[in-house]
Every structure is written in structure tokens, then in C-alpha cells.
């Protein structure tokens, strides 16, 4: 989520019944975005995307990630774990995009 730039654009382009789950490990960024974006469709989660299954119990229609995979250890397989866990939550014919 960072400073919420991509999140704002997503919110500007989704339906009023959609929901955005935004993961961010930096608590200060979470507080900043929470104070700047007042939108009931936004759910800010102060945790890493590797814990998607812990926080999201429903299936999802799309994933837009801006994950810096170079920070993750190859030995732990965290980057691929995030992709797999996200994929597991997607409904059929869903959308996955990784923003570079």
C-alpha cells in the first residue's frame, strides 16, 4: 500500500459494492493512508501479504500487487508463497497483476 497512490486509483475505478484489502507492514503508512482516504470500501491491514489467508476469509476477484520481491529470502520461498496464497483465494477467471 505504501502511501496509497495505487490504492486511490483502484478505489476510483471500482464499483461501490467492491472492497479493497490493502496490506502494509509499516504502521505509520497505515495511519497516514487511513487519515487521508475515507472510503468504506478500503480495509487497511497492518501486516504482510504473506498472511493473506489469515486476514481474508472470502474469495477474491482480483489481486493487484506492488510487492518488492527482492526483499524476500529465496530460501524461505516467501515471494512465491505470497503469489500462491493469493492465487488460492482467487475465484475462477479472476485477475492477478504485479505492478513493478
pLDDT tens profile 21-48: 999 999 999 999 999 999 999 999 999 8
For 86, counting Cβ atoms within 10 Å of its Cβ (0-12 exposed, 13-18 middle, 19+ buried), the class is: buried
DSSP designation for 40: T
Residue with cell 513493478: 100
pLDDT for 71 equals 65
| Boundaries of every domain in the chain | 5-98
DSSP designation for 77: T
Query: How would residue 70 be classed by pLDDT, with cut points 50, 70 and 90?
Result: low
Query: For the domain with range 5-98, which CATH number is right: 3.40.50.150, 3.40.309.10, 3.40.50.800, 3.30.300.30?
Result: 3.40.50.150
> Percentage of the chain surpassing pLDDT 70?
85
pTM comes to 0.81
Amino acid at each position: 500500500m505504501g502511501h496509497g497512490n495505487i490504492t486511490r486509483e483502484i478505489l476510483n475505478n471500482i464499483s461501490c459494492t467492491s472492497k479493497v484489502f490493502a496490506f502494509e507492514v509499516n504502521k505509520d503508512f497505515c495511519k497516514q493512508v487511513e487519515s487521508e482516504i475515507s472510503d468504506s470500501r478500503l480495509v487497511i491491514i497492518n501486516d504482510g501479504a504473506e498472511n493473506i489467508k489469515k486476514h481474508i476469509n472470502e474469495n477474491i476477484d482480483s489481486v493487484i500487487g506492488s510487492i518488492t520481491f527482492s526483499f524476500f529470502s529465496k530460501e524461505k520461498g516467501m515471494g512465491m508463497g505470497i503469489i500462491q496464497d493469493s492465487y488460492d483465494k482467487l475465484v475462477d477467471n479472476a485477475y492477478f497483476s504485479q505492478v513493478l
